[in-house]
């Protein structure tokens, strides 16, 4: 059923997380679709993400979020108002979805002594003890199923770009930089590196940023991304 639902959703930036979950099998269906339909609630089994597609019944969603510790709900359809009522206390935000407009960068522009950018492998998961717990959990998950690039300062990985989900032609770009290493271009360098790496696999990046996150939107623009869509994102009270 997962692959059938994926086939009913177009391979567009707005569906990169939902389709990535379905195609990888790293999910379950909280609300499965009717035959031939695409109305569903999908729960990712690794990053705590829930996605609503079409017009499914939503009564089961709050209990599922509480049971599984949901970290975010994405809504790409017209159910945002209803979700605002159902998810009482959750914060509702608008996310701007960006796609790369031009050619992929030829490579990272580092230009700093003692800095290099490289891919991480599953063997590197044990070398992330300096990374905060939640980010380390996300990176370890990504290392087990996808691609992760890192910027190293004196051989310590401090900025990361990883593909949280992939479809046939797209991938969802996630970045993070450790405190004390920000505003040095390291996230940009790791992003450029992974964008080039994924381009060689025939896949183009999707960059999502809350419209309140001006630094992320500026970085996206500086890398050649342009807005192509919007989604509604709900976050639990503790995340806000």
Domain that holds residue 58: 2-96
DSSP letters of 37-103? ---EEEEESSS-EEEEESS---TTHHHHHHHHT--EEEE-SS-HHHHHHHSTTPEEEEEEEEEE-SP
Residue 240 lies in a domain: no
Cα separation, 232 vs 239, whole angstroms: 16
Residue 35: CB partners within 8 Å, gap ≥ 6? Answer: none
Helix (H, G, I), strand (E, B) or coil at 128: coil
Domain boundary among the residues 96, 111, 131 is at: 96
Residue 141 lies in a domain: yes
The verdict on 90 and 110 lying in the same domain is no
The verdict on 80 and 121 lying in the same domain is no
Residue 20 lies in a domain: yes
Mean pLDDT within 49-78: 94
The verdict on 56 and 114 lying in the same domain is no
Domain boundary among the residues 43, 74, 96 is at: 96
The verdict on 219 and 108 lying in the same domain is yes
Residue 114 lies in a domain: yes
Place of tokens 């692959």: 3
Cα separation, 218 vs 202, whole angstroms: 25
The verdict on 92 and 111 lying in the same domain is no
The verdict on 138 and 203 lying in the same domain is yes
User: CB atoms < 10 A from the CB of 223, how many?
Assistant: 20
pLDDT at 111 over 60: no
The verdict on 122 and 82 lying in the same domain is no
Domain containing 107 — which CATH number?
Answer: 3.40.630.30
Q: What is the pLDDT of residues 29-63, one digit of tens each?
A: 999 999 999 999 999 999 899 999 999 999 999 99
Helix (H, G, I), strand (E, B) or coil at 238: coil
More confident residue, 149 or 104: 149
Residue 140: CB partners within 8 Å, gap ≥ 6? Answer: 125, 128
Residue 229 lies in a domain: no
Domain total of the chain: 2
The verdict on 153 and 126 lying in the same domain is yes
Place of tokens 């992330």: 128
The verdict on 88 and 139 lying in the same domain is no
**What are the Cα distances from residue 86, in Å, to 60, 75, 90?**
10, 13, 9
Q: What is the pLDDT, as a whole number, of residue 186?
A: 94
The verdict on 148 and 207 lying in the same domain is yes
User: CB atoms < 10 A from the CB of 39, how many?
Assistant: 18
pTM over 0.95: no
Domain boundary among the residues 64, 96, 128 is at: 96
Residue 29 lies in a domain: yes
Mean pLDDT within 119-127: 83
The verdict on 125 and 48 lying in the same domain is no
């Amino acid at each position: 059923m997962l692959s059938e639902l994926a086939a009913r959703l177009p391979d567009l930036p707005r569906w990169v997380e939902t389709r990535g979950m379905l195609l990888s099998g790293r999910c379950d269906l909280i609300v499965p679709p009717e035959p031939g339909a695409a109305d569903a609630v999908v729960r990712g089994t690794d990053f705590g993400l829930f996605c609503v597609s079409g017009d499914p019944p939503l009564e089961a969603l709050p209990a599922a979020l509480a049971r599984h510790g949901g970290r975010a709900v994405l809504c790409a359809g017209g159910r945002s108002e209803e979700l605002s009522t159902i998810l009482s206390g959750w914060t509702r935000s608008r996310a701007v979805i960006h796609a790369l407009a031009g050619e992929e960068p030829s490579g990272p522009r580092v230009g700093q002594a003692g800095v290099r950018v490289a891919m991480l492998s599953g063997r590197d998961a044990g070398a992330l003890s300096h990374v905060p717990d939640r980010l380390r959990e996300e990176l370890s998950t990504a290392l087990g199923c996808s691609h992760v690039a890192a910027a190293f300062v004196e051989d310590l990985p401090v900025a990361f770009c990883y593909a949280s989900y992939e479809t046939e032609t797209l991938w969802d770009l996630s970045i993070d930089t450790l405190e004390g290493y920000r505003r040095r271009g390291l996230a940009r360098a790791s992003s450029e590196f992974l964008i080039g790496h994924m381009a060689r696999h025939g896949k183009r990046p999707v960059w999502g940023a809350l419209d309140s996150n001006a630094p992320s939107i500026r970085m996206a623009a500086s890398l050649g991304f342009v807005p192509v869509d919007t989604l509604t994102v709900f976050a639990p009270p503790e995340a806000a």
